[in-house]
Amino acid sequence: MQFVVSSKTLLNHIQTLMGVIQGGNSSVPILQDFLFQSTENGGLKVTASDLETTVIANIPEVSLKSEGQVAIPARFLVDILKTFADVPLSITVDPNTNGINIHSDSGKYKTAGHDAAEYPSLPEFERRGSFSVEALTFNNGVAKTIFAAGNDELRPVMSGVLLQASPDSANFVATDAHKLVCYKRFDIKCDSSFELILNKRPLNLLKNILGNSEEPLSIEYSDKNIRFSFGHYVVYSRLIEGKYPAYETIIPKENPNVLTIDRHALLNGLKRVSIFSNKATYLVRFKLAGNHLEIIAEDLDFSNSAKEELHCQYSGEDMEIGFNSRFLIEMLSNMDQESVTLKMSTTSRPGILAPSEYQQDIEEITMLMMPIMTH
């Protein structure tokens, strides 16, 4: 196998794939390698996998001299490519020994590759359905929900993002039982209704690949796997199996106490006051009366306390309610709008946070958080 490729082009593609290998399945040595394969159209295909997730980069900008395949140690290849300016490299693989020779204008470099036959093959994929969506739209759905997904290995379904699709709209949902986010897009329409629970790790990798592109993203799914195709990349991932919790049932329907406030003012106030909160609970108390909000935090163990007063619009009974400040800061940081509304029923029921205004014909977002008892 022999090919010529720009060092910068190759580095850009394989750095995207490194996210699969870093923190992946280290118990299988070959998975610390990239799999290089020539393609029928004279291009180059590079694969990275951790068995749960596989990402393939198709690199057309190569001059393929002879066909073949080889597994190349990933960290070594990234490290050597980083040292080059944008120069052409000639890479030759000995099919008998898997030895790899790299030639640049100024030097020759040799290392040992591994037998490509040892690299795990892709799982069988029997397509059950497919749809296409603008990449930026899908990325927004993931970005606005993924932070709320859990990390509990005993409840794997809650460690992913639920995608509910129908001919009318699509919901992205994530929860860890303390907070919940539901983001609905009315401009994503599918031929049939279905539910998929998507793994967080491949979604984070996909976010980096998609960026802010408005190009179409093709999504195909089987009973156990999902395949995303975008530009020169294909991402395979195993779906999380199981039944997602009936999250709609915990969203309170009657919420007579309504706070409307500038998002930046609330976010910055919370960031300051939460520094003084107890680091076990991150509890902050909201005291609401008239058009007046007090945010209070205390940590008696270290004699820390803070109080900030903010102007707001409030309708409802005077009340005092406690929330985890970290959750609130996360939620407010994942909104774009200037003003937000917090709807509450009682001090023991979840509060519902949402933008005061947004494109209601395109999107709808609901963020829910469980309160913390203040006494």
Residue 270 near residue 295, CB atoms below 8 Å: yes
What predicted TM-score, i.e. pTM, was given to this entire model?
Answer: 0.91
CATH code at 21? 3.10.150.10
pLDDT of residue 336: 87
Q: Which of 156, 174, 168 is nearest to 334 (CA)?
A: 174
pLDDT of residue 24: 65
* Shared-domain flag, residues 104 and 168: no
Residue 257 — φ and ψ, nearest 5°? -95, 115
Domain end position, chosen among 220, 248, 276 = 248
d(CA 60, CA 68): 16
* Shared-domain flag, residues 29 and 69: yes
* Shared-domain flag, residues 133 and 231: yes
* Shared-domain flag, residues 202 and 257: no
Domain housing 101: 2-118
pLDDT of residue 118: 95
For residue 124, is it within any domain?
no
* Shared-domain flag, residues 133 and 240: yes
For residue 341, is it within any domain?
yes
Strands 44-49 and 33-38: antiparallel
Domain end position, chosen among 118, 146, 173 = 118
* Shared-domain flag, residues 141 and 237: yes
* Shared-domain flag, residues 19 and 91: yes
Domain end position, chosen among 214, 248, 282 = 248
Residue 320 burial class via C-beta count within 10 angstroms: exposed 0-12, middle 13-18, buried 19 and up: middle
* Shared-domain flag, residues 229 and 286: no
For residue 375, is it within any domain?
no
For residue 374, is it within any domain?
no
Residue 87 near residue 104, CB atoms below 8 Å: yes
Residue 195 near residue 162, CB atoms below 8 Å: yes
Residue 282 near residue 354, CB atoms below 8 Å: no
* Shared-domain flag, residues 10 and 114: yes
For residue 10, is it within any domain?
yes
* Shared-domain flag, residues 178 and 199: yes
pLDDT of the chain, 375 residues: tens digit per residue: 999 999 999 999 999 999 999 866 668 899 999 999 999 999 999 999 999 999 999 999 999 999 999 999 999 999 999 999 999 999 999 999 999 999 999 999 999 999 999 999 988 889 999 999 999 999 999 999 999 999 988 899 999 999 999 999 999 999 999 999 999 999 998 999 999 999 999 999 999 999 889 999 999 999 999 999 999 999 999 999 999 999 999 899 999 999 999 999 999 999 999 999 999 999 999 999 999 999 999 999 999 999 999 999 999 999 999 999 999 999 999 998 999 999 999 999 999 999 998 766 799 999 999 999 886
What Å distances lie between residue 346 and 191, 242, 341, 343, CA to CA? 41, 33, 16, 10
d(CA 21, CA 53): 10
Q: Which two tokens stand for residue 359?
A: 């494109």
* Shared-domain flag, residues 103 and 32: yes
* Shared-domain flag, residues 241 and 266: no
For residue 332, is it within any domain?
yes
For residue 73, is it within any domain?
yes
Count the neighbouring beta carbons within 10 Å of the beta carbon of residue 108. Answer: 9
What letter represents residue 68's amino acid? Answer: G
For residue 123, is it within any domain?
no
Q: How many domains does the chain have?
A: 3
